[in-house]
Amino acid sequence: MSTPSGPAADPTLDPALQSWVESANDPASDFPIQNLPLCGFVAERDGHAHAHLGVAIGDQVVDVSMLAEAGAIADDDEEVLDALSDPFWYGVLGVPGMAGRVRPVLQRFLRADTAAGQRARRVRSKALRPISETRFLEPVHVFNYTDFYASVHHATTVGSMFRPENPLLPNYKHIPIGYHGRASSLVVSGTPVRRPWGQQAPPDNEPEAGPSFAPCRMLDYELEVGAVIGVGNRMGEPIAVGEAHRHLLGLCLVNDWSARDIQKWEYQPLGPFLAKNFATTISPFIVTLEALAPFRCPAPARPKGDPCPLAYLVDEGDQAAGGFDITLEVLIRTEKMAAQGLDALRLSRGSFRHMYWTVAQLLTHHASGGCNLQPGDLLASGTVSGPEPESRGCLLELTWQGHGPDGKPRPRKPIDLPTGETRTFLADGDEVIMRGHCVRDGFRRIGFGECRGKVEPART
């Protein structure tokens, strides 16, 4: 699944480009002018709140809707100007290649060395707002959400908890495993997440007691990457894996919160339900495929003895460049840490390049039976875990110590925090912060911003 034109041929990726937004020129910035991730936010005007389009640059958000309405973005491409006038990036969704056409138009406005950029200096006070003071909306309206299980390292670790002799089920290496989630409970980064209630299994030592209904005691996060569909397909028409990139808008960060104790009781035989549908947090920014082009990498080589995927999941281009080299981190900040002025503690650090199934394979498999993907649909990767213990993408894995000589699970090892607190699972008041970035020689570093959520107590 190679990109239509290589990154070296795309002038919007030139590392020498500079912006009149000075913070975007910082080499450590997530949002240089080469990134320009899409977002949506609330704009106040005349006492009313309006949903506006934006792109992040440096530590600021550019109010794209205001500029388009004011005629401050000039271009000969009327379709692009029309696209920038629609809410929630509807003008980009559903139009093949539109995100790539929008990039140079916005760059001309933001570049320090263009006439449009010089004129922009006179309207910067109206065009920009600090990211830290912006109330973000979901970057696109998501009507359908699917969660996959694409990390073999995650699947193996979790499977070993229940099937130590055979962690992976027979189908795992043949078929991308997924389930349909709940789009209505997707929330944007910064939205508090309330601890859910649910049915839980009887105690292991007292099975006759029957199940209970109580607040979740084993609340967890799941570090994931989300793929946003840009162009859909008609019902009954599959998508070839080599064409999958034409249907993708970009990637974002996802925290698929998980109530482990509720899931343990309910997931057989049909899989997650209440353990997942209470909240899923997405980051405010969609990093487009155009911005990610330099950071494509080969799909992981399958270990010797693993089966080859069926033909509909195989494409030479996807094998050569179907992965994304994204460094991912999870941090935690408890209420006690915040009260003492302590920084968040990093829990894990890993890479998206280790996923067993590529994004293209997930998309192709989703549509292979005739499912009609729609613009704005979200496909999440499932927990991103790597081969090292420090790259595990959830507390369920991080605190797992395997089985003892007697074959029974060893006690979980809690995470030690700088306040003297410990965590096996999340406590009320804990804030989980996810970050991602890409680095490659010869290109500007780009980032995904943050995906944040703070746990609120269960309702009484």
pLDDT one-digit tens code per residue, 329-351: 999 999 999 999 999 999 999 99
- 336 in Cβ contact with 419 (< 8 Å): yes
Confidence class for position 417, pLDDT limits 50, 70, 90: very high
Residues 206, 203: Cα–Cα separation, whole Å: 5
The C-alpha torsion from 252 through 253 and 256 to 257, rounded to 10°, is: -140
Domains of the chain in start order, with CATH, are 7-137 (2.30.30.230), 145-456 (3.90.850.10)
Q: Which two tokens stand for residue 355?
A: 């996923």
Q: Which residues contact 209 (CB under 8 A, 6 or more apart)?
A: 202, 203
Residue 14: count other Cβ atoms within 10 Å of its Cβ: 13
Record the pTM: 0.96
* 163 DSSP assignment: -
Nearest to 225 by CA among 293, 185, 275, 280: 280
- Is 154 an active-site residue? yes
Average pLDDT over residues 238-253: 98
Buried b (16+ CB within 10 A) or exposed e, 371-397: bebebbbbbbbbbbbbeeeebbbbbbb
Alpha helices, DSSP H, located in 115-228? 115-120, 124-127, 152-162
pLDDT tens-digit readout, 46-97:
778 889 999 999 999 999 999 988 888 866 778 898 899 888 999 999 999 9
- Element holding 250 (H helix, E strand): strand 248-255
Active site residue: 52, 153, 154, 354, which one?
154
Residue 44's pLDDT is what?
85
How far apart CA 121 and CA 298 sit, in angstroms, is 42
Q: What is the pLDDT of residue 176?
A: 98
pLDDT at 8: 65
Dist. CA 99–CA 289, nearest whole Å: 9
pLDDT of residue 329: 98
How far is residue 261's CA from residue 77's CA, in Å, rounded to a whole number?
Answer: 54
Q: Which two tokens stand for residue 164?
A: 């130590």
